[in-house]
Every structure is written in C-alpha cells, then in structure tokens.
Structure 1
Amino acid sequence: MEKKPVKIVTIGGGSSYTPELVEGFIKRYDRLPIREMWLVDVEEGREKMEIVGAMAQRMWDASPYKVKVHMTLDRREALPGADFVTTQFRVGLLNARVKDERIPLSYGMLGQETNGAGGMFKAFRTIPVILSIVEDMKELCPDAWLINFTNPSGMVTESVMRYGHWDKVVGLCNVPVGAMLDEPGAIGRDASELVYRFAGLNHFHWHRVFDIQGHEVTDQVVDAYLAGKVSGPANIPGLEFIPEQLKAVGMMPCMYHRYYYLQEEMLRHAIEEYNTIGTRAQQVKQTEAELFELYKDPNLNYKPEQLAKRGGAHYSDAACETIASIYGNTNTHIVLTTRNNGALPDLPPEVAVEVSAYVGAAGAQAVAFGPLHPAQRGWLQLMKNMELCVEEAAVTGDYGMALQAFTLNPLVPSGKTGKRVLDELLIAHKKYLPQFADTIARLEAEGVTIKDEVARSLTEQGL
C-alpha cells in the first residue's frame, strides 16, 4: 500500500537551524515525500520566522519538489493532520540564555545552556510549554510523532513521556551524529566498517566502537582524540581530557563531559569569556544576527556554511533521518532519547536514556548496553536523579524540589550561594515561570534582587 505524503510541523520555526532541517528533508525526499511544511513561532519570533520561512521556501523551490511552506503564530492552526511535529524552540529566546549564563557566572559557578544552573532553568521554562503542545497534539493530531530537539532534550523528552503520557516521542541531539562522522576517519576507517554503541543521558553519554569483525576499537578512538584528531561540537570549548582518566573510563565520553571531568578548567574558561568577549549566548547572538542578514538575501536558496558556527552541525542528520526511518520502517541505527526498558540496567526501566536504538514504524527499540563500571554508574545515577527532580519542579513549581535539584547538580555548589543563584534566576525569569509565581512573589517581598553589577549589565544589553 502506498503511503500518504507527509505533513511536517516545526515549532520554533524561526530558529536559525531551520535551513539545516529543510536541507535534510530535501536530501531525503525520495524516502520522505513531504507535501507541506508548517513553521510555527511566537510573536517575539515573528520577524525571524518570516525571514527563515521565505528562505525555506526558496530552498524547496530550488529543489525538484513542490512543497509549500506555511507560517503561523498559532500552532493550533498548524497541527491538524500533522504526521510529525518537530520542536526546536527556546522559551525567552537567547536573552533568557544570557541570564542563565551571566547570573551563575557572577557567583563563580557555571552557567551553560544544558548544564548546571542554566540548564536546569531552561528546563523549568521549557517543560510546561512542551506539555501544553502535547495537549494540543492529543486533540489535533493524535497519530503524530513528536521529534524533540529542544534543549535540555533529555529532560524535555522524558517529561513528555512521564507527565504528558505521550509515548510517540523521541529526543534528538546532533552530538552522537558528529562523533560517528568524525571518528572513523581519525582512526583510518570508513564509517561502514564500524559499529557504535552509545549509552547514558542526553549530553552525558559514553560510547564504545567495534569493527565489523566484532573487535573493539574504542582504544583507537581514544588515542586519536588524545592525538588531536577528534575535536567535537563547535559550541563546546576544546579543552583536553586528562589522558589517564580517559583511558580508565574505557569508553569515549561525550564532549559535554568536559564540564564534569574538567569542571575547574571549564569554569575558568567560562569566567574568562564572561569578563572579556561575553558568554556563549552573547557570542551566539552575534552569529545569529549575521546568519539572519544572510538569510534575507533573496538569492540565497541553500544552507550557508556559517551555520556550522552555531554548534548545530548534523542537526538534520539526526532529525530527518529519524523521521524518514519511522515513515519508511527502515529500522535504522540512530542514537536518541527514549524509554530505557532495560537497555541500561543501572537505571529504572521507565526513565529516559540516550542510547543506540533501531528506529522503525513502531518507534525506537533501544539496544541493550549492559551495566556500567562503578565510576560511570555513580555519575549516571546521580545525573538521572537530578534530572527527575528538575522535571518534577518544572511541572509542580515546588521550590523545595528545585532546591533539591540544585543541591544534587555537580556543577552547583550546595549551600547559601546555590540558593542565592536559584532565587535570582527565579526573579530574572519570572515572566516564563508561572508555576513558581507564589515563590517569586515571596522572594520579591523579601527583597531578593539580581546582583547589582549583573542587573546593570543586563539592562545595558536591553535584557
């Protein structure tokens, strides 16, 4: 039976990543015949959506395929009949990320998009929104798959399953794709000669590598990294892991592990940028401004190379390949966030994990990885329980649970300073945290404010 053409809805359609997504769909059109693509955004993102939407239409028009790009600020207009809903939104836009970074850094602790205090606050802002999207999907497109790329992807995806009671969801990240593309050449192999097995959490996974004869070659990958032949995403500072530690792990860590294995060095690097060129979010704002100037060019009908500076390289290889694999029931190996179901016996079966899986019409079938060694098992269990506390606080607005999450997070010192950063971030983001309204009112009544020097800096930037 011939399958029907596909309707794609992309929430956060004004993202600078959208051209990467369109390019991926065009490359896979023979496997994924799209009939229409809807871009959805909020009023604050209208201008960017209109710019990127026009470019997306030019990209389709330059292809052999007749696909109409629609744009709307009302997701309920876009969702009816959707086959796949992709999410790539940022609540509060990049201005919120600037606050996530600058407020913790002003107290000498890491502020980052998905790690530490900033990552937890991104989850607090994002999880209620993704759950409201799921409620609309239940009504308007109950058969659709939700393909989540919104960070922190693991916690957002898990909340959809745990609190949204929606099982047709996977979470994606471009980091594993980058590793599988970069590492084979670094050890003198073709990608077709290697078999990868990933295990862990989003931005906190490890992987092992085997050749097609079944011999493990993970040590070769580690040696290639230590020789400077493997780097990682553009958005993570390229500080070198400690060789003895890396060899002791026995697996290749995700480059985000630098924030944990090299916490002192990464924090020092972040503080240096904070005091000089600005935080990562401030740098990204400049990159985005340049990208959107390019996107305005009425003759531009392809993804510009500058997009790689955003750190989202290979986004389409993750998102589009997953969608094509579900649509075509190809059972392709993809690394994604899905329900554990025993793949990692060190965690409960119902939690979300980022693992190798085979993806087809029934979704992701996680590949069993087996138990981890004590050090990695300890990290994994700590991080998962921290995530569960973050998710519960995001849904309930429970201040005590948010404080528990801060206390558990390895990048946040426990005690009065950690609480102070929690309180200031609640004040800074009150517009996007209605679930914490009572707590924020109490803090304001107690006279809690953002540190003067940071408040001045944010005001000077119009934030």
Structure 2
Amino acid sequence: MKKFSITVAGGGSTFTPRIIMMLLDHQEEFPIGKLCLYDNDKDRQEVIAKAFEILLKERAPQIEFSYTVEPEVAFTDTDFVMAHIRVGKYAMREKDEKIPMKYSVVGQETCGPGGIAYGMRSIGGILEILDYMEKYSPNAWMLNYSNPAAIVAEATRRLRPNSRIINICDMPLGIMIHMAKILGVNEKEFDISYFGLNHFGWWTQIKDKEGNDLMPKLKTYVKEHGYDIHVESAQHDDESWHETYRKVKDVYAVDPETLPNTYLKYYLYPDYVVAHTDANYTRANQVMDGREKTVFSAARDIIEKGTAKDCGFVVDDHASYIVDLARALAFNTKEKMLLIVPNEGAIENFDPEAMVEIPCIIGKDGYEKINQGRIPQFQKGLMEQQVSVEKLVVEAWIEGSYQKLWQALTLSRTVPSAGIAKQILDDLIEANKGYWPELK
C-alpha cells in the first residue's frame, strides 16, 4: 500500500496534536511515509514539533518527520496539505470577540463582526499556502478547515477557482456525535440530508443504514434538551459548549421541521448571546486558559521527560473527519461527507455561485455533489442575507473597499444598525493594522 506525504500547515496550532494522533491511529488504512509541520511562527511550532519528534520515534519510527518555516521544504513532494491556520493567533481572536461586545453586539470567532475581521485576515494566508502547494506539489490536495471557513471558501472560489482545494468543517460531525449519543448509535451509520452555509445549516433527514427514520426520536429529545448530552471530547465538552447545545432547543423551535446547526443561535438569538457573554472574559480567554495551556504543557512535559509515555496527547474523534476525507481521495472510497462547495444548482432555488455546505460523494477525482432540492423560504431568506455578507467581505478584500466591508457588517443579522456597523468597523480597522489590506 502506498505511503503518503502529509504537510500540516499551522504546525504550531493547538489542533495539530489531535490531527497527528488521529493519523497515527489510522495507519493501517491510511499509511504515512512522511509528515512535515509548517508554520510561520518558528518558536511556537518548535514546542509542538519537538514533542512529536520524541513521540513518533517511540510509536511510529517508520514515519519520516520534519518541521520547517521554509515553504519550499514544506510543500515539495507532498500528497496532502492539511491546513488549519489562525492568522493573528488567539490575541487577535480576543479582539474579534471583545470589540463588538463594546457595542452590545455578538463577539464570536466565526460569526458576525468577529468572523468578518478574522476572514479579512485569513484570506491572504490561505491563498499563500495554496500557491506554495501548487508551485511545489501541483498534484497535491489541500484539505482546508481554517476558519472562518465560509469566507475562506468564497475567497478561493473567486480567486483560485481551479485549485485542488476542498473546504471542510468538523462542526456538523461534532453535532452528529451528540445526536448519535442521544440515540445510542454510531454516527458513522447515519445517512443524512443537510443544506446551508458553513456554520449556518440544517439537517432535513437522518436515517440509519437500514433506512429507518431517526428524526422523530431526535426531535423529541431536542425539543426538551437541545443536543446537550455528555460526550467524551477534548474539544466541545466544557460548560460554554453545554450551554450552546442546550440553546439549540430554542433554535429548533423556530423551525421544527429541521434540526439546526448550533451556530444559528448567534443569528437567531443575538440578544440572548450578548446577555450571556462576559465582555471581559470571552471564549478566546477560555481557550487561552484551557486548551492552549493544556496542549503546550503536554508538549513541554514530553520534551522535559524525553519520552511520550503517558503523555497528554489524545486521539480526538473530530480529527477523524480530515483523515476520512484524505482516505476517500486517496483510495476512491466514495465516502459521503459534508463539504463546502459551489452550489451550481445543488440547492435548486438558491444562488448558483454561493459556497454551500451539502453532502458530497468523495473519490480520487474530488467530489460529486448530492442535490438537496428546493429549500424552504425561511432558510432561503436567512441564507441569502448571510451569503451576501460573505461575498461582500471577499469583494472588500479584493478591492480594498471600506464601503463594501461596511455593507457586509450592516447586512449581518448580528448587527442592529448601519451606524453601529460603522463604529465597529472603524475599531476593527485600527485593531487589524498590518493584517488587513488597506481600505479606501
């Protein structure tokens, strides 16, 4: 069986250990010959990399491991680039969240003004990595789940339409893991229909492999509890996530014909979110005090001890998404997965040029979209507004347009007026000096 070369772009990320541990856990069905970490922050990456140098020598000495800040080294002779970069790191995420909160507007990393700010930073970084890959390994695939995925996907559609990039998000999988726990089954057995934008979608069908409809039982539970149930997960099991999963019951009540993505709470209940957010200690602070410290502490512990025996790095089910996708592309497994793709009629009564999140069949040549038919007016209206936000952000980045970015913020359901949108925008411009293109 062929052994693959993997480049992880964003090698210093707190998510990198999960990806590597999941890759190691799937060596029989997806063997790796070479693994390279790439990051533009040498010092941050080095901590994660040195820990994995030790771990891989002990657990998978057959894998040729390296780490670098040199693009040519990282992207030459690679089969897959797994990209999860965060331009500006958590320091900028904190600003994304806290600046809108000054105006009693949702402060969130991918939704509303914070997501727009993050998107304006991310576009250039993703295009740069994509260009490196295509220069040094033109036949490689880039599996991108850098946030905010919707804006990044729209940028690649506009600016790199022929690139071998597949944009993904593991949040629906995270929700389906909860659904499976509620039902007492395995999420891998689900046969689903789903439509929407990234972080902005709905399940219309969930069946088991025998064709039995699981929606009625799920809806009965969700009506009372949302998706809240204890799941062993390093990523989505702290109290703020439990609150998010509980709030789904109110999001569901708006349209009980479907089951919603958790992120819809930011758009349908922004007043509630603001009222239940500590403006001085946002999710970024929770992550910096939680996952950030845990991951880097585990890495330093390995380096200090010189062994990864009993280390704090664990396999995470969420990371399995990217491994399943790589395997499907490599071995033509025809796996059905949710991807963020150009609509082009897959949702019949929606903008053909929108980047939508729908089920696709993945094989060696890429993906085939599964038609989701016509969607209801309620979701269509919400999606038209949100996709316009995403398109305007990308146009603002391309054109350096203050006007279009102001329009994007004004259109967001999380922002109450054009006046507040302008105040937030001016603050974000100041905070993002050196990260955004200059706006005129």
Task: Say yes or no: does 1:292 pair with 2:296.
Answer: yes
Once the two structures are TM-superposed, the CA of residue 229 in structure 1 deviates from its matched residue by: 7.1
Residue 30 of structure 1 aligns with an amino acid whose one-letter code is E
Q: Distance in 2 between matches of 1:62 and 1:350?
A: 48
**1:27-426 → structure 2 map (5 Å cutoff):** 27-42=25-40, 45-64=41-60, 66-191=62-187, 193-207=189-203, 208-228=205-225, 230-231=227-228, 233-234=236-237, 236=241, 237-238=243-244, 239-242=246-249, 245-246=252-253, 248-270=255-277, 273-275=278-280, 278-287=281-290, 288-298=292-302, 299-300=307-308, 304=312, 314-426=317-429
Once the two structures are TM-superposed, the CA of residue 242 in structure 1 deviates from its matched residue by: 5.0
Q: Distance in 1 between matches of 2:352 and 2:309?
A: 45
Aligned counterpart, 2:7: 9
Deviation string, structure 1 residues 363-387 (Cα, Å, up to 9, x no partner) = 1212111111111111111111211
Whether the 8 Å contact between 1:18 and 1:56 is mirrored in structure 2 is no
Q: Distance in 2 between matches of 1:86 and 1:166?
A: 18
Q: Distance in 1 between matches of 2:16 and 2:249?
A: 37
SS of corresponding position for 2:225: coil
Q: Distance in 2 between matches of 1:167 and 1:7?
A: 19
Residue 261 of structure 1 aligns with an amino acid whose one-letter code is L
Residue 19 of structure 2 aligns with an amino acid whose one-letter code is L
Whether the 8 Å contact between 1:294 and 1:300 is mirrored in structure 2 is no
Q: Distance in 1 between matches of 2:255 and 2:146?
A: 33
SS of corresponding position for 1:54: helix
Whether the 8 Å contact between 1:100 and 1:111 is mirrored in structure 2 is yes
SS of corresponding position for 1:411: coil
Once the two structures are TM-superposed, the CA of residue 395 in structure 1 deviates from its matched residue by: 2.4
Q: 1:362 to 1:338 in 2, by over 3 A?
A: same
Whether the 8 Å contact between 2:4 and 2:79 is mirrored in structure 1 is yes
Q: Distance in 1 between matches of 2:217 and 2:375?
A: 20
Q: Distance in 2 between matches of 1:363 and 1:410?
A: 34
Deviation string, structure 1 residues 408-436 (Cα, Å, up to 9, x no partner) = 11111222221011011011111111x22
Q: Distance in 2 between matches of 1:354 and 1:265?
A: 26
Q: Distance in 1 between matches of 2:76 and 2:386?
A: 37
Q: Distance in 1 between matches of 2:343 and 2:25?
A: 31
Aligned counterpart, 1:25: 23
Whether the 8 Å contact between 2:248 and 2:260 is mirrored in structure 1 is no
Q: Distance in 2 between matches of 1:109 and 1:263?
A: 7
Residue 267 of structure 1 aligns with an amino acid whose one-letter code is V
Residue 196 of structure 1 aligns with an amino acid whose one-letter code is I
SS of corresponding position for 1:9: strand
Residue 123 of structure 1 aligns with an amino acid whose one-letter code is G
Once the two structures are TM-superposed, the CA of residue 339 in structure 1 deviates from its matched residue by: 2.3
Whether the 8 Å contact between 1:103 and 1:111 is mirrored in structure 2 is yes
Residue 21 of structure 2 aligns with an amino acid whose one-letter code is E
SS of corresponding position for 2:247: coil
SS of corresponding position for 2:213: coil
Q: Distance in 2 between matches of 1:223 and 1:421?
A: 40
**TM-score, normalization by structure 2:** 0.90
**1:419-458 → structure 2 map (5 Å cutoff):** 419-433=422-436, 435-436=437-438, 439=440
Once the two structures are TM-superposed, the CA of residue 9 in structure 1 deviates from its matched residue by: 1.1
What is the total number of aligned residue pairs between the two structures? Answer: 424
Residue 73 of structure 2 aligns with an amino acid whose one-letter code is E
Q: 1:66 to 1:181 in 2, by over 3 A?
A: same
Unpaired runs of 5+ residues, structure 2, are 230-235
**TM-score, normalization by structure 1:** 0.86
Deviation string, structure 1 residues 310-341 (Cα, Å, up to 9, x no partner) = xxx53311111111111111011111212223
Percent identity over the alignment? 27
Once the two structures are TM-superposed, the CA of residue 243 in structure 1 deviates from its matched residue by: 5.0
Whether the 8 Å contact between 2:195 and 2:357 is mirrored in structure 1 is yes
Whether the 8 Å contact between 2:100 and 2:424 is mirrored in structure 1 is yes
Once the two structures are TM-superposed, the CA of residue 219 in structure 1 deviates from its matched residue by: 2.8
Q: 1:316 to 1:427 in 2, by over 3 A?
A: same
Which stretch of structure 1 is more off in the superposition, 179-188 or 320-329?
Answer: 179-188
Whether the 8 Å contact between 1:172 and 1:337 is mirrored in structure 2 is yes
Residue 420 of structure 2 aligns with an amino acid whose one-letter code is T
Residue 132 of structure 1 aligns with an amino acid whose one-letter code is E
Q: Distance in 2 between matches of 1:372 and 1:24?
A: 36
Aligned counterpart, 1:452: none
SS of corresponding position for 1:432: coil
Q: 1:302 to 1:135 in 2, by over 3 A?
A: farther
Whether the 8 Å contact between 2:252 and 2:258 is mirrored in structure 1 is no
SS of corresponding position for 1:335: strand
Which stretch of structure 1 is more off in the superposition, 142-151 or 70-79?
Answer: 70-79
Residue 99 of structure 2 aligns with an amino acid whose one-letter code is I
Q: 1:274 to 1:114 in 2, by over 3 A?
A: same
Which stretch of structure 1 is more off in the superposition, 15-24 or 314-323?
Answer: 314-323
Residue 79 of structure 2 aligns with an amino acid whose one-letter code is D
Residue 379 of structure 1 aligns with an amino acid whose one-letter code is L
SS of corresponding position for 1:216: coil
Q: Distance in 2 between matches of 1:243 and 1:128?
A: 37
Q: Distance in 2 between matches of 1:218 and 1:57?
A: 46
For the aligned residue pairs, the C-alpha RMSD in angstroms reads: 2.2
Once the two structures are TM-superposed, the CA of residue 247 in structure 1 deviates from its matched residue by: 6.7
Unpaired runs of 5+ residues, structure 1, are 440-463
Q: Distance in 1 between matches of 2:431 and 2:190?
A: 47
Q: Distance in 2 between matches of 1:123 and 1:335?
A: 21
Once the two structures are TM-superposed, the CA of residue 403 in structure 1 deviates from its matched residue by: 1.0
Residue 73 of structure 1 aligns with an amino acid whose one-letter code is V
Deviation string, structure 1 residues 86-125 (Cα, Å, up to 9, x no partner) = 1111111111111111111011111110001010010001
Aligned counterpart, 2:232: none
Whether the 8 Å contact between 1:198 and 1:355 is mirrored in structure 2 is yes
Q: 1:189 to 1:33 in 2, by over 3 A?
A: closer
Q: Distance in 1 between matches of 2:64 and 2:345?
A: 42
Whether the 8 Å contact between 2:349 and 2:375 is mirrored in structure 1 is yes
Once the two structures are TM-superposed, the CA of residue 199 in structure 1 deviates from its matched residue by: 1.2
